[in-house]
């Protein structure tokens, strides 16, 4: 459907942005945002808990509204755009994936830590059997050398992934590192390569442009930069930059600007910006969704959240280990 585009953008504000609003999206908000994005002809819109299907738990944060109601609202609203979901094996299961498919989701990104692609085999295989467009999603990619990144991406490809994303979950990578890694993936894989950025060091746009220059054709954006930490590559800005470069995304520039200003901006509790905590996450290489958890733990134990984040970075804590945030804060307070 999008074969005529140079770069296919997946909008992640209704998934990654769930972290920034404490998983409080409502059906009405989803309908409004999806309607505006659909009008702007955004190819894919990802909708699920910030930690993917099944993520609504005490450990990861409870959703205000059942995510399947949000997915259904998105599917019912979209006329042009396709609805995507994220699944982390061990958090979500094939059962949740099947339910999302029955509601009308057409794309799934199966996400694992950058060194744990082997746990994605069953989910990628089952997703393909369901007729879903199925991509691999390697998180915290800064934590592995290039050789390991390529090895793990090739595993996902062998399981049936139709594209593999390199994900800068901590916003820790520098532009030259992104270019080098994407180049290596392009040379090693026979499927498309994607890139997902975070802006904790202020490099999301620059890193995304380097990824595209190296050959990435699947790119994530987040309207108004609504995402975990300091947010992601800002979709409306990315659309404008790529149009100036003559790169086809299919997105209507004025409509995506209007969607950002008139529909999404009012949803933000505060402007998405690089705060001292999000900057610390990029510096320490810590998962971007840890920001609110670390802030709450710091308030509870009277510890600077930056010290918590730095210690988490030293311990190489990754997504799925949110329970360790309170443990670290408690030990630091003793």
In 3-state terms, what secondary structure has residue 8? strand
Q: Which residues are annotated as a binding site for Mn(2+)?
A: 16, 196, 198
Structure tokens at 74: 């998105």
Cα dihedral 242/248/251/257 (nearest 10): 20
What residues are paired with 195 via a beta bridge? 166, 219
Q: What is the pLDDT of residue 325?
A: 85
Q: What is the pLDDT of residue 117?
A: 98
- pLDDT tens sequence across 176-214: 999 999 999 999 999 999 999 999 999 999 999 999 999
Q: What is the pLDDT of residue 262?
A: 98
Over the chain (334 residues), the average pLDDT of each successive run of 10 is: 91 95 95 98 96 85 93 98 97 96 98 97 98 97 97 98 97 97 98 98 98 98 95 98 98 98 93 89 84 84 88 81 82 86
Q: Which residues are annotated as a binding site for substrate?
A: 15-16, 169, 196, 287
Instruction: State which fold the 289-333 domain adopts.
Output: Helicase, Ruva Protein; domain 3 (1.10.8)
Q: What is the pLDDT of residue 315?
A: 85
- Model's pTM, two decimal places? 0.92
What residues are paired with 221 via a beta bridge? 11
Domain limits, the chain: 8-266, 289-333
Structure tokens at 11: 């909008």
Which residues belong to the active site? Answer: 19
pLDDT above 70: percentage of residues in the chain: 99
Query: CA dist 109 to 44, 220, 241, 242, Å?
Result: 12, 12, 26, 24
- In CATH, the number for domain 8-266 is 3.20.20.70
Q: What is the pLDDT of residue 316?
A: 84
256 φ/ψ angles, rounded to the nearest 5 degrees: -70, -35
331 φ/ψ angles, rounded to the nearest 5 degrees: -65, -40
> How many other β-carbons are positioned within 10 Å of the β-carbon of residue 4?
7
Owner of token pair 């309170």: 326
- pLDDT tens sequence across 262-298: 999 999 988 889 988 889 889 988 877 787 788 888 8
Cα–Cα distance, 103 to 70 (Å, whole number): 10
């Amino acid at each position: 459907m999008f074969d005529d585009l140079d770069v296919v953008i997946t909008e992640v504000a209704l998934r990654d942005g769930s972290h920034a609003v404490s998983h409080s999206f409502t059906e009405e908000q989803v309908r409004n945002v999806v309607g505006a994005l659909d009008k702007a002809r955004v190819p894919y819109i990802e909708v699920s808990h910030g930690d993917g299907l099944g993520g609504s738990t005490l450990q990861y944060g409870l959703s205000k509204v059942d995510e399947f109601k949000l997915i259904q609202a998105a599917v019912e609203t979209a006329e042009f755009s396709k609805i995507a979901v994220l699944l982390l094996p061990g958090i979500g299961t094939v059962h949740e994936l099947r339910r999302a498919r029955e509601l009308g989701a057409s794309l799934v990104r199966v996400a694992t830590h950058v060194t744990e692609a082997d746990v994605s085999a069953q989910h990628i295989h089952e997703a393909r059997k369901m007729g879903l467009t199925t991509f691999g999603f390697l998180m915290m990619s800064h934590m592995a050398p290039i050789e390991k990144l390529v090895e793990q991406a090739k595993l996902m490809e062998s399981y049936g992934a139709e594209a593999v994303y390199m994900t800068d979950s901590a916003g820790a990578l520098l532009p030259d590192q992104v270019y080098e890694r994407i180049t290596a993936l392009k040379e090693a894989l026979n499927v498309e390569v994607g890139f997902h950025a975070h802006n904790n060091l202020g490099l999301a746009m620059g890193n995304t442009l380097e990824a595209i220059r190296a050959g990435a054709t699947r790119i994530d954006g987040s309207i108004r930069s609504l995402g975990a930490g300091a947010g992601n590559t800002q979709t409306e800005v990315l659309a404008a930059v790529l149009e100036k470069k003559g790169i086809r995304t299919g997105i209507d520039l004025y409509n995506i600007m209007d969607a950002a200003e008139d529909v999404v901006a009012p949803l933000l509790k505060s402007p998405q910006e690089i705060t001292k905590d999000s900057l610390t996450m990029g510096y320490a290489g810590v998962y971007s969704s840890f920001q609110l958890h670390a802030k709450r733990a710091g308030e509870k134990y009277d510890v600077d959240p930056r010290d918590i984040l730095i210690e988490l970075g030293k311990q190489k804590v990754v997504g799925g280990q949110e329970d360790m945030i309170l443990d670290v804060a408690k030990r630091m307070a003793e």
